[in-house]
């Protein structure tokens, strides 16, 4: 009968820890030289770069613009249709972060105006290195009652406008010859059908934004232009709070039990804009408090 009480053969022999002299010798003979500490946080810095943010006068767009400025941007261009809010936004960003800030009033559907503004940004701020494509609208209209012109307007601003701006920025990034980073603001609505609110045009437009981003990431990789998306869930904004009944239902359906703060998107925006995400392109980051996991 086997004697299980003798565990001598099963004991592992643990060597003593290496001495300081042993570590120094191993480092000196390593093929890559001595081990060096790395400053990983430095890769999140955006020093010397210029960002373009559409829909950046308020809400999610402004929050992400602020996040990028906090990481050391040289300049930021805010594109929006609301002049008063846009001018207020660039004053806040300049005063708080010392960044060069310019506001340009534009409808993102107007390709000629967008192209002219990109020329101005490049001339006035020196370059275009980062794009945050945040401009967008939404309607809550039942599909059977949706006027065709209103449906087309949502698609035109959210999807076509994203392409018009991305194309104009890409032309400058390509001519600059050092690539860039484009961040498309999609939505979890591009992956799921929201319920109970009726928003077929918005859902379709954001699904289109996601696939547009993936298509451009493949085409423009050769130019060093990375394209990624952030897909927010329900965010705690003034507009969403106005939908009192829906607001409470959205909270109940979200595993974290609350809506997101707009600032909770900025970490992902900084990462995607920076060299910390240099090997990331064609990706969609869903930030929704777990909503789409159910």
Helix axis angle, 200-220 to 148-155, nearest 10°: 30
Token digits of residue 80? 């929006």
Strand-pair category, 130-133 with 50-54 = parallel
**Structure-block tokens of residue 162:** 């994203």
**What CA–CA distance (Å, rounded) separates 23 from 17?**
10
In whole angstroms, give the CA distance from residue 271 to residue 277: 6
Integer Cα distance of 280 and 275 in angstroms: 10
Contact residues for 154 (Cβ-Cβ < 8 A; gap 6+): 137, 138, 139, 201, 202, 205
Q: Using an 8 Å Cβ cutoff, are 199 and 252 in contact?
A: no
Nearest 5°: the CA angle 137, 121, 87 is 55
Would the CA dihedral through 31, 36, 40, 45 be positive or negative?
negative
Residues known to be catalytic: 187, 202, 206
Tell the burial category of 11 from Cβ atoms under 10 Å away from its Cβ (0-12, 13-18, 19+).
exposed
DSSP strand pairing (100-105 vs 75-80): parallel
């Amino acid at each position: 009968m086997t004697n299980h009480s003798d565990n001598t053969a099963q004991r592992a022999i643990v060597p003593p820890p290496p001495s300081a002299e042993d570590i120094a010798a191993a480092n000196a003979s390593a093929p890559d030289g001595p081990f060096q500490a790395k400053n990983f946080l430095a890769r999140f810095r955006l020093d010397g770069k210029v960002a373009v943010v559409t829909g950046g006068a308020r809400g999610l767009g402004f929050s992400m613009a602020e996040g990028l400025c906090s990481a050391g941007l040289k300049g930021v261009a805010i594109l929006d249709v609301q002049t008063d809010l846009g001018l207020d936004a660039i004053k806040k960003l300049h005063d708080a972060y010392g960044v060069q800030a310019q506001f340009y009033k534009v409808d993102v559907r107007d390709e000629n105006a967008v192209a002219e503004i990109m020329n101005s940004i490049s001339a006035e701020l020196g370059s275009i290195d980062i794009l945050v494509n945040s401009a967008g609208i939404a309607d809550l209209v039942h599909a059977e009652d949706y006027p065709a012109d209103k449906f087309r307007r949502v698609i035109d601003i959210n999807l076509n406008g994203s392409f018009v701006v991305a194309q104009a920025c890409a032309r400058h990034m390509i001519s600059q010859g050092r690539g860039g980073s484009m961040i498309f603001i999609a939505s979890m609505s591009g992956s799921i059908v929201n319920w109970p609110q009726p928003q077929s045009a918005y859902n379709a437009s954001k699904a289109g934004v996601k696939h547009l981003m993936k298509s451009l990431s493949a085409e423009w990789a050769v130019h060093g232009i990375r394209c990624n998306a952030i897909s927010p869930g329900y965010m705690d904004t003034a507009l969403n709070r106005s939908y009192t009944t829906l607001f409470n239902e959205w909270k109940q359906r979200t595993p974290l039990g609350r809506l997101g703060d707009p600032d909770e998107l900025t970490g992902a925006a900084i990462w995607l804009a920076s060299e910390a995400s240099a090997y990331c392109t064609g990706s969609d980051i869903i930030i929704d408090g777990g909503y789409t996991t159910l």
